[in-house]
Amino acid sequence: MPLTTPHVAALLVAIAISSCQAGEAPDAPDCAAPGDADATTADGAPVPVYEGFGLPVIAICADPGALTALDARTAEPDALEIEVAVDFDGVHYEDVEMELHGGFARTVAKKSYRLEFEGDGLPFPFDGEADPDEQRHLVLQASWIDPTWLRNDLTFASIRALGGLAPRTGHAVVYLNGVRHGLYQVIERVDRRFLEHHELDEDANLYKAVDHRANWAAKPHPIDGFEHKINEDNPTSDLGPFLDALTSTPADAASFAAGVEPVLHLDDWFTYQLVHSYALNQDAFTKNYYLYHDLDAPPGAPAARFRVISWDADATWGQDWDGGAIPVDSWPGRGLGVGVNEWHGRDSFSPRILGIEAYRERYLERALAALDGPIADAVLDARASARGAAIADAARDDLARWQPERDFDQELARLREAVATRHAALRARIEALEDDDEDPR
- pLDDT, one tens digit per residue, over 370-406 is 999 999 999 999 999 999 999 999 999 999 999 999 9
Label residue 44 by pLDDT band (50, 70, 90). low
Position 55, amino acid = L
Asked if residue 87 lies in contact with residue 59, where contact means CB atoms within 8 angstroms, the answer is yes
In angstroms, the CA 230 to CA 82 distance is 21
Residues 6 or more apart in contact with residue 93 via CB below 8 angstroms: 85, 86, 87, 117, 118, 122
pLDDT tens digits, 122-166 = 999 998 888 899 999 999 999 999 999 999 999 999 999 999 999
Label residue 227 by pLDDT band (50, 70, 90). very high
The packing angle between helices 266-278 and 408-435, to 10°, is: 120
Helical residues (DSSP H) of 145-265, grouped into ranges:
151-161, 192-197, 239-248, 253-259
pLDDT tens digits, 254-300 = 999 999 999 999 999 999 999 999 999 999 999 999 999 999 999 98
pLDDT at 34 exceeding the cut of 90? no
Label residue 239 by pLDDT band (50, 70, 90). very high
pLDDT at 88 exceeding the cut of 80? yes
- pLDDT given for residue 148 in this prediction: 98
Label residue 20 by pLDDT band (50, 70, 90). very low
In angstroms, the CA 101 to CA 154 distance is 21
Q: What is the mean pLDDT of the chain?
A: 89
Residue bearing the bigger pLDDT, 124 or 15: 124
Name which of 1-5, 83-87, 386-390 the model is least confident about.
1-5
pLDDT at 314 exceeding the cut of 60? yes
pLDDT at 434 exceeding the cut of 70? yes
Asked if residue 159 lies in contact with residue 272, where contact means CB atoms within 8 angstroms, the answer is yes
In angstroms, the CA 279 to CA 219 distance is 29
- pLDDT given for residue 283 in this prediction: 92
Nearest to 108 by CA among 71, 140, 68, 133: 71
- pLDDT given for residue 167 in this prediction: 97
3-state secondary structure of 360: helix
What are φ and ψ of residue 6, in 5° steps? -60, -35
In angstroms, the CA 250 to CA 93 distance is 55
List the helix and strand counts (H, then E) for the chain: 11, 13
Please tell me whether the overall predicted TM-score, pTM, comes out greater than 0.85 for this model: yes
Label residue 17 by pLDDT band (50, 70, 90). very low
In angstroms, the CA 116 to CA 202 distance is 18
Residue bearing the bigger pLDDT, 236 or 106: 236
Label residue 103 by pLDDT band (50, 70, 90). confident
In angstroms, the CA 49 to CA 85 distance is 17
In angstroms, the CA 74 to CA 80 distance is 11
- pLDDT given for residue 424 in this prediction: 97
In angstroms, the CA 309 to CA 306 distance is 10
